[in-house]
Structure 1
Amino acid sequence: MPLYKTLIPNSQTTVKIWKISESYSDLMQNITLKSESLERVLGMKSELHQRGFLSVRKLLAEFGYTDTDLYYDTNGKPHLSDGKFVSITHSFTFSAVMVSNSPVGIDIEKQRNKISIIAHKFIDYEFAYLDKIADSYVKDLTLIWCVKESLYKLYATPGLSFKKHCLVIPFSTDAHDSVAWIDYNDTKNRYDIAFIEFEGFTCAYAIS
Structure 2
Amino acid sequence: MPLHSIQRLCPTAVLGLWHLTETPAELWAELPNPTAYQPLLPATADAKRQAQWLAGRRLAHRLFGEFPELSPSEVLVQNDATGRPWLAGASTETVVSLSHSGEWVAAVLARGGRAGVDVEFIRDKAQRLAGKFLAESEWEHARAVTADSATETHYTLLWSAKEALYKLAAQRGIIFRQQLLLHEFSPQTSGEIPATLVLHGAQTRHRICYTQPAPGYVLTYCYEPAG
What TM-score comes out, normalization by structure 1 length?
A: 0.90
Displacement of 1:39 after TM fit? 2.9
Equivalent position to 1:194, from 200, 209, 218? 209
**Cross-structure match for 1:148:** 162
Please say if 1:203 is aligned against 2:219. Answer: yes
CA 92–67 in structure 1, closer or farther in 2 if over 3 Å, else same:
farther
Give aligned pairs, total: 207
CA RMSD of aligned residues (A): 1.9
Q: What is the 5 A alignment of 1:10-21? A: 10-21=10-21
**TM-score, normalised to structure 2's length?**
0.83
Q: Corresponding residue for 2:67?
A: none
Moved more, 2-11 or 38-47: 38-47
The aligned counterpart of 1:114 is 125
Separation in 1 of the partners of 2:201 and 2:86? 27
Unaligned runs of 5+ in 2: 65-71
- Specify every segment of 5 or more residues in structure 1 that has no aligned partner in the other structure, as ranges: none
Matches within 5 A, 1:161-180: 161-174=175-188, 176-180=191-195
Identity, in percent, stands at 23
1:43, CA displacement in angstroms? 2.1
Instruction: Summarize deviations over 1:33-74 as a string: whole Å, max 9, x none.
Output: 354x31343723421100001101211221233584323333
- Which amino acid in 2 is paired with 1:17? L
Q: Secondary structure, in 3 states, of the residue corresponding to 1:63?
A: helix
User: What is the CA–CA distance in structure 2 between the aligned matches of 1:67 and 1:49, rounded to whole Å?
Assistant: 25
AA aligned opposite 1:193: I
Show structure 1 runs of 4+ deviating over 6 A. Answer: none
Give the 3 Å change call, closer, same or farther, for CA 73–43 of structure 1 in structure 2.
closer
Q: Partners of 1:111 and 1:40 in 2: how far apart?
A: 29
Sort the Cα spacing of 1:66 and 1:19 in 2 relative to 1 into closer, same or farther, 3 A.
farther
